């Protein structure tokens, strides 16, 4: 990169759904890079709760305050996608040591595939270090509150999609 070059970064993920932890990384990343592309991976093997289109809608609404953030999606190798988007950075959030071990392997493979693309890790904010999309879905499906863990729009969509059966709700209330 030459001095004064605009730095484009990609923050990839499944975002099924977006959490406030993701938003923390997006907000901080938007301050570090000239342009941040939040990109949803098409990965049907994960059996997503929301379609790519639904996730993109929730992301667009959630990142509206950040003028240099755009939403996209991709299939295939992240390193190749980064090159197609003229991105020089892949942004990844790290919550725990277990995240680091996996992300390190991915970063090294991406570097091998596209040496000009760097991976930058951001540590999760302390308030968000325990949040995962999987945990959020589990809590809300069992009738728990996820207020403060996801944007209000996402909480509403989750409640509509994962409404616990009436019998389960009654059982939870009587035990």
Domain spans in the chain, listed from the N-terminal domain onward: 8-128
- 107 phi and psi angles, rounded to 5 deg: -65, -40
Q: Per the residue annotation, which of 22, 55, 88, 137 is the catalytic one?
A: 22
Which member of 46, 60, 134, 163 is catalytic?
46
Give the pLDDT band (50/70/90) at residue 5. Answer: confident
| 95 catalytic per annotation | yes
Helix-then-strand count for the chain, H and E: 7, 5
Q: Exactly one of 14, 30, 133, 157 is catalytic; which is it?
A: 133
- Give the separation between CA 95 and CA 98, rounded to whole angstroms: 8
CB 71 within 8 A of CB 30: no
> Which one of 35, 85, 95, 159 is the catalytic residue?
95
The answer to whether residue 46 is catalytic is yes
Concatenate the DSSP letters of all residues of 6-64 into one string: PPEEEEEE--TT--HHHHHHHHHHHHHSSEEEEEEE--GGG--SS-HHHHHHHHHHHHT
Two tokens, residue 122: 């951001």
pTM: 0.88
In 3D space, the residue among 26, 32, 33, 114 whose CA is nearest the CA of residue 78 turns out to be: 114
The mean pLDDT value for 60-89 works out to 96
Q: Which class would CATH give 8-128?
A: alpha beta
pLDDT tens digits along 31-58: 999 999 999 999 877 789 999 999 999 9
Over the stretch 87-137, which tens digit does the pLDDT of each residue have? 999 999 998 888 899 999 999 999 999 999 999 999 988 888 889 999 999
């Amino acid at each position: 990169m030459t001095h004064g070059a605009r730095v484009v970064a990609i923050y990839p993920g499944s975002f099924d759904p977006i959490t406030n932890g993701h938003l923390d990384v997006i907000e901080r990343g938007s301050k570090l890079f000239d342009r941040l592309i939040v990109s949803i991976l098409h990965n049907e093997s994960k059996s997503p709760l929301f379609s790519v289109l639904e996730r993109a809608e929730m992301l667009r609404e959630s990142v509206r305050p950040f003028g240099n953030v755009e939403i996209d999606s991709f299939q295939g190798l992240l390193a190749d996608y980064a090159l197609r988007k003229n991105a020089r950075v892949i942004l990844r959030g790290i919550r725990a040591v277990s995240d680091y071990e996996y992300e390190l392997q991915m970063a090294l493979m991406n570097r091998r595939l596209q040496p000009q693309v760097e991976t930058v890790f951001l540590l999760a904010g302390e308030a968000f270090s325990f949040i995962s999309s999987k945990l959020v879905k589990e809590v809300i499906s069992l009738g728990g509150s996820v207020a403060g863990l996801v944007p209000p729009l996402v909480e509403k969509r989750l409640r509509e999609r994962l409404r616990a059966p009436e019998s389960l709700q009654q059982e939870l209330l009587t035990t």
